[in-house]
Amino acid sequence: MGKVAFLFAGQGAQFPGMGAAFYEQSPAARQVFDLCESIRPGTLRQCLEGGADELSQTANTQPCLFAVDLACACALAEAGVTPDGAAGFSLGEVPAAAFCGRLGYEQAFRLVLRRGQWMQECADEHPGGMLAVLRLEPNVVEQLCAALPDAFPVNYNAPGQIVVSGAQESLKLLAEQVAERKGRALPLSVGGAFHTPYMHKASLKMAGELAGLPWRPGRLPLYANLTARPYPADGREMLAQQVCSPVLWQQTIQNMVADGYTDFIEVGAGRTLTGLMKKIDAQARAYAAETPAKAQEILCALGGPDA
């Protein structure tokens, strides 16, 4: 059998009621939620009862997704699902770093609170959005963006899917040009133009914050959005740069497959990364751990004690 990877969901995957089943049924997940609630009162209510509009605000999205991602991963580990490595999509890289042992849980959550605040400040200063472009080759999308002001290819998600981030007017023009080339453009439910130079100030503040935190060797390999390769011994600067740099997700997954990973488990909200897995490598096995019941199914699929 090959290696097992945990994939931590990122911003845009949030939905009302996310994490409720884990909070109710998993002591390990409840412990994570309670920790986050003790640091940021209201986090639990937003996760379990918050509406879509409230959850889409960056300052809320990021701490809530952190809590759900890490709680889900801990619930899976509690159930006996043991990963060999991990990757996190954008925001998901922070709970992934915590789960892999690079940062303490409390330190990572406090970092996410500041990350969300700083990114929201950048978004307020430079309003923008994100647009998923489907059915066009990367070089075509890159050429279209190069001809527009303030449009940046930022998430290389899967074959035929790239997310572009930037100013709303540029995204509107891009959507028209994508349609002319028989592609498809879908606006994303996010609160800013993330992973662009617009986020440079947030990146600098992240670097300053991380410089004062201990970065541990970790117990599992963690693949970085910035390089699509495992983090080096000290990855603090890399995690800070991620905020204003493209997410090389397709290449990350391809590198993990080349490194022997065969089973990929999405932890956190939704099934976005599971869907991308099927497009990147149809031979790899992908699972979405949406509930404790799904966690048990995954354990059986991996040959656990109840298989």
Which residues are part of the catalytic machinery? 90, 195
Distance, in Å, from the CA atom of 259 to the CA atom of 217, rounded to the nearest integer, reads 20
Nearest alpha carbon to residue 94 among 124, 119, 127: 119
Phi-psi region of 216 (alpha: psi -120 to 50; beta: other; left: phi over 0): beta
According to DSSP, residue 1 is labeled -
Q: Residue 113: how many CA atoms within 13 Å on its side-chain side?
A: 13
Contacts of 76 (CB under 8 A, 6+ apart): 6, 265, 267, 289, 295, 298
Q: Phi and psi for 87 in degrees, rounded to 5?
A: -150, 150
